[in-house]
């Protein structure tokens, strides 16, 4: 039996949510909010450190396959733990229906965490880029599989104008070719998870990493659970790992961060 295309469902729901968001907070209001906001924190500089591997620690309450990952979800406490554990950046899932996120989490994170904050969501159009900036993100995740070459270029350009970094995520060689065509794109994410069926395969990184030019900064996402995984990626030359589920499932988040990162 063919598995359902989870990504298709998420995108359909996201489009409905976007219509409501635009009514509640029109684009002009978002732009006005941005006018008075502080400069963004440098995302690339925070995670690209020589001879080490950085951590982008993720806040993720639920997922489409695992359901609720963390029952005791105290947002402020989780952010403080990540801060104290020494994470270089944090990723905040803001998708409401499948991941239990909320865009308001960005501002909360920004108030507690001293480093840059990445908004992780299913970004489809310019409104969401303005929204990310207005709610306090320093960087956004763009998913190559979701966007045409033109849309991707348009969103990257707009993000740069607003001072946001873009982490563009790929899962296949075809998607990587699309991203490498982008002008000045130096931050690439390899997602070991297929967003079509949510299966995870660490061999995705082994396959794609050698195809990425050495001057690019590479972040690896999904399926990273042990210090061995992190060591392997560090030896490979990966700049940063984005880890959520392994930490969110842990009773003691700080202990888990230290164990996985070897800190």
Percent of the chain residues topping a pLDDT of 90: 87
**pLDDT for 4:** 66
**pTM for the full predicted model:** 0.96
Range of the domain at 147: 6-34+43-261
Asked if residue 11 belongs to a domain, the reply is: yes
CA distances for 229 relative to 2, 11, 86, 198, 226, angstroms: 31, 31, 19, 19, 5
- Among residues 58, 108, 175, 245, the one annotated as catalytic is 58
Catalytic (active site) residue 221: yes
CATH code of residue 203: 3.20.20.70
- Among residues 108, 222, 245, 256, the one annotated as catalytic is 222
Catalytic (active site) residue 102: no
Asked if residue 1 belongs to a domain, the reply is: no
Rounded Cα gap, residues 193 and 207, in angstroms: 13
Q: What mean pLDDT, rounded, does the chain reach?
A: 95
| Residue 90, strand partner residues | 57, 117
- Among residues 95, 131, 169, 245, the one annotated as catalytic is 169
**Which tens digits make up the pLDDT trace of 24-61?**
999 999 999 999 889 999 999 999 998 899 999 999 99
Catalytic (active site) residue 256: no
Determine which helix (DSSP H) or strand (DSSP E) holds 203, and give its type and residue range: helix 203-208
Q: Is the pLDDT of residue 220 over 80?
A: yes
Q: Do 162 and 193 meet the contact criterion of CB atoms below 8 Å apart?
A: no
- Among residues 14, 61, 110, 120, the one annotated as catalytic is 120
Catalytic (active site) residue 191: yes
CA distances for 92 relative to 7, 56, 105, angstroms: 19, 10, 7
**Which tens digits make up the pLDDT trace of 151-160?**
999 999 999 9
- Among residues 108, 131, 221, 245, the one annotated as catalytic is 221
Neighbours of 49 (CB within 10 A): 12
**Which tens digits make up the pLDDT trace of 159-210?**
999 999 999 999 999 999 999 999 889 999 999 998 878 888 889 999 999 9
Q: Do 144 and 175 meet the contact criterion of CB atoms below 8 Å apart?
A: yes
Average pLDDT of the segment spanning 225-249: 96
Please, which residues have CB within 8 angstroms of residue 123's CB and are 6 or more apart in sequence? Answer: 129, 132, 140, 141, 142, 143, 146, 155
pLDDT tier for residue 3 given thresholds of 50, 70 and 90: low
Asked if residue 16 belongs to a domain, the reply is: yes
Asked if residue 117 belongs to a domain, the reply is: yes
- Among residues 191, 192, 245, 256, the one annotated as catalytic is 191
Catalytic (active site) residue 132: no
Number of domains in the chain: 1
């Amino acid at each position: 039996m063919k598995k359902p295309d989870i990504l298709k469902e998420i995108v359909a729901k996201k489009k409905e949510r976007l219509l409501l968001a635009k009514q509640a907070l029109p684009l002009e209001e978002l732009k006005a909010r941005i006018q008075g906001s502080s400069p963004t924190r440098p995302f690339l500089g925070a995670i690209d450190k020589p001879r080490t591997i950085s951590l982008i620690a993720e806040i993720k309450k639920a997922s489409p396959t695992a359901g609720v990952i963390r029952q005791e979800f105290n947002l402020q406490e989780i952010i403080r733990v990540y801060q104290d554990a020494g994470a270089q950046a944090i990723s905040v899932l803001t998708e409401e229906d499948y991941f239990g996120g909320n865009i308001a989490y960005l501002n909360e994170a920004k108030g507690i965490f001293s480093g840059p904050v990445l908004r992780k969501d299913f970004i489809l159009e310019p409104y969401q880029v303005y929204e990310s900036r207005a709610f306090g993100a320093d960087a956004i995740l763009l998913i190559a599989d979701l966007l045409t070459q033109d849309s991707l270029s348009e969103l990257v350009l707009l993000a740069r104008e607003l001072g946001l970094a873009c982490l563009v995520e790929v899962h296949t060689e075809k998607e990587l070719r699309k991203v490498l065509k982008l002008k000045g794109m130096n931050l690439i994410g390899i997602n070991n998870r297929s967003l079509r069926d949510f299966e995870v395969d660490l061999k995705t990184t082994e396959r794609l990493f050698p195809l990425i030019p050495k001057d690019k900064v590479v972040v690896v996402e999904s399926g990273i659970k042990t210090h061995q995984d992190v060591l392997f990626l560090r030896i490979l030359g990966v700049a940063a790992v984005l880890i959520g589920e392994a930490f969110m499932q842990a009773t003691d988040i700080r202990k888990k961060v230290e164990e996985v990162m070897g800190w």
